[in-house]
């Protein structure tokens, strides 16, 4: 089996009744995997990894608002990359319309989870890319990944990632679960320099994706925390341009989980307020929950509960006053990529099914982006090599 990236463009305004059907345009990019989608000035950028003959190559495809390819090319390539279904590259466009992305490079081939975050930048919309560089400076051969990129003022970018530096002496035969993982962040400029750096949390979940958004003049992060007693609930943090806030808890799940569930949260803007969407467990069933920040985090409800629900959530603003959330849910025994529209009051106005997908890790992490009221999703699809 060889992976193939797929992008679904949803060209409807998402205001029709659920049973009215949707106009969905599927696009495929054979041979590419670990896809992610980002909004840029000229449309959408799909990033994905193509692996051939032992070499991994990070590629991009610029798509217009109708899903037509405008340009494509190679960003970087190497033989010593860490390529994983859950920890994969993404891209962000700065205020100065630079493109910034990253890949994960092994730092010690004898340790399965020893890899570094390597940033690269394009100032000409993908025609050329800067020499990759490592954003963290701890020098440990440990895990550095699950990255969130957020545009800051000018051409600056906030980079946040999960970091295993404090567990450098742990037994690496235990993989992710043998070490302490922290949440680190840095501000980087367009000269490949770290101008500020922070340790935001000294104990987090090991391998749940982080997420964040710039909302107004502030930057927000959400992530899965980990207590000494193995409770793995969600926390958020806010950066006002000068300092980070203390961690703020989302509505409690009190989920006792002795290992990482590989299932992180998502964040979007809903009318200028942070909107969080995340998976958890309750009474033996997987649940996806929604909350909005109004002074404190307020629960908006649950979108689905099922023993086989996978989660793998995402969220984006949809126009100025609404948001979209997506997740991998169930319809009977079928695994389905779903989307819900959240109205300005925080109510689930409608839900739709985008496509059936194979269950398990082959689904990867479907990612979502929206330009105005045109959303699209990226996700892997399996195809046989003939």
- What confidence score (pLDDT) does residue 2 get? 55
Model confidence at 18, in pLDDT bands (50, 70, 90)? Answer: very low
Q: What is the mean pLDDT of the chain?
A: 90
Nearest residue to 248 (alpha-carbon basis) of 229, 223, 227, 272: 223
- What confidence score (pLDDT) does residue 345 get? 93
- What confidence score (pLDDT) does residue 360 get? 78
Q: Which residue has the higher pLDDT, 352 or 11?
A: 352
- What confidence score (pLDDT) does residue 257 get? 95
- What confidence score (pLDDT) does residue 22 get? 61
pLDDT at 173 over 60: no
What percent of the chain clears pLDDT 90, i.e. is strictly above it?
78
Phi, psi of 29, deg, nearest 5: -130, 85
The dihedral region occupied by 225, where left means phi > 0, alpha psi between -120 and 50, and beta the remainder, is: beta
Do residues 279 and 288 make contact, with C-beta atoms less than 8 angstroms apart?
yes
Model confidence at 364, in pLDDT bands (50, 70, 90)? Answer: confident
- What confidence score (pLDDT) does residue 25 get? 78
Model confidence at 231, in pLDDT bands (50, 70, 90)? Answer: very high
Which of these ranges, 15-19, 83-87, 199-203, 375-379, has the smallest mean pLDDT? Answer: 15-19
Q: Tokens 């849910």 sit at which residue?
A: 329
pLDDT at 16 over 50: no
Evaluate the CA torsion angle 5, 9, 15, 19 in order and state its sign. Answer: negative
Do residues 292 and 300 make contact, with C-beta atoms less than 8 angstroms apart?
yes
- DSSP calls for 267-314: EEEETTEEEEEEEEEETTEEEEEEEEEESEEEEEEEEEEETT--EEEE
Mean pLDDT of 108-113: 93
- What confidence score (pLDDT) does residue 355 get? 86
- What confidence score (pLDDT) does residue 210 get? 99
Which letter does DSSP use for residue 248 in this model?
Answer: E
CA distance 72 to 377: 18
Q: What is the CB-side half-sphere exposure of residue 150 using CA atoms within 13 A? A: 27
CA distance 205 to 257: 10
Mean pLDDT of 7-29: 62
Which of these ranges, 27-36, 87-96, 242-251, has the smallest mean pLDDT? Answer: 27-36
pLDDT at 373 over 90: no
- What confidence score (pLDDT) does residue 386 get? 19
285-314 pLDDT per residue, tens: 999 999 999 999 999 999 999 999 999 999
pLDDT at 202 over 50: yes
Mean pLDDT of 371-376: 80
Q: What's the whole-model pTM score?
A: 0.93
37-87 pLDDT per residue, tens: 999 999 999 999 999 999 999 999 999 988 899 999 999 999 999 999 999
- CATH class held by domain 2-383: mainly beta
- What confidence score (pLDDT) does residue 19 get? 42
Do residues 100 and 125 make contact, with C-beta atoms less than 8 angstroms apart?
no
pLDDT at 11 over 70: no
- What confidence score (pLDDT) does residue 172 get? 43
Q: Domain-by-domain residue ranges, the chain? A: 2-383
- What confidence score (pLDDT) does residue 328 get? 95
Mean pLDDT of 160-176: 75
Mean pLDDT of 183-212: 98
């Amino acid at each position: 089996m060889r992976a193939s990236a797929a992008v679904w463009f949803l060209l409807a305004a998402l205001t029709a009744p659920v049973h009215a059907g949707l106009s969905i345009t599927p696009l495929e990019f054979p041979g590419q995997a670990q896809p992610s989608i980002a909004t840029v000035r000229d449309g959408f950028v799909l990033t994905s990894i193509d692996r051939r003959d032992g070499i991994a190559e990070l590629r991009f495809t610029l798509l217009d608002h109708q899903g037509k390819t405008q340009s494509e090319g190679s960003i970087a390539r190497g033989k010593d990359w860490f390529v994983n279904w859950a920890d994969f590259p993404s891209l962000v466009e700065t205020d100065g319309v630079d493109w910034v992305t990253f890949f994960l490079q092994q730092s010690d081939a004898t340790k399965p989870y020893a890899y570094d975050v390597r940033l690269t930048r394009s100032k000409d919309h993908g025609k050329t890319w800067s020499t990759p560089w490592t954003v963290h400076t701890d020098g440990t051969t440990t895990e550095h990944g699950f990255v969130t990129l957020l545009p800051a003022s000018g051409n600056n970018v906030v980079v946040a990632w999960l970091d295993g530096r404090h567990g450098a002496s742990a037994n690496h035969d235990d993989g992710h679960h043998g070490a302490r993982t922290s949440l680190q962040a840095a501000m980087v400029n367009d000269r490949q320099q770290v101008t500020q750096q922070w340790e935001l949390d000294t104990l987090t979940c090991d391998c749940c994706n982080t997420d964040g958004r710039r909302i107004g003049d502030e930057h927000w992060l959400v992530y899965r925390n980990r207590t000494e007693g193995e409770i793995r609930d969600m926390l958020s943090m806010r950066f006002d341009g000068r300092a980070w806030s203390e961690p703020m808890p989302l509505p409690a799940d009190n989920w006792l989980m002795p290992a990482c569930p590989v299932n992180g949260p998502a964040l979007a803007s809903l009318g200028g307020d942070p909107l969080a969407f995340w998976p958890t467990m309750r009474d033996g069933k997987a649940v996806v929950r929604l909350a909005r920040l109004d002074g404190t985090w307020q629960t908006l409800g649950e979108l689905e509960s099922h023993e086989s629900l996978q989660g793998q959530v995402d969220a984006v603003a949809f126009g100025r006053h609404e948001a979209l959330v997506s997740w991998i849910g169930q319809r009977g025994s079928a695994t389905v990529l779903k989307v819900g529209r959240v109205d300005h009051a925080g109510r689930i106005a409608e839900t739709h099914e985008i496509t059936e997908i194979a269950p398990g890790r082959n689904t990867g992490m479907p990612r979502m982006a929206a330009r105005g009221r045109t959303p699209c999703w990226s996700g892997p699809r399996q195809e046989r090599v003939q």
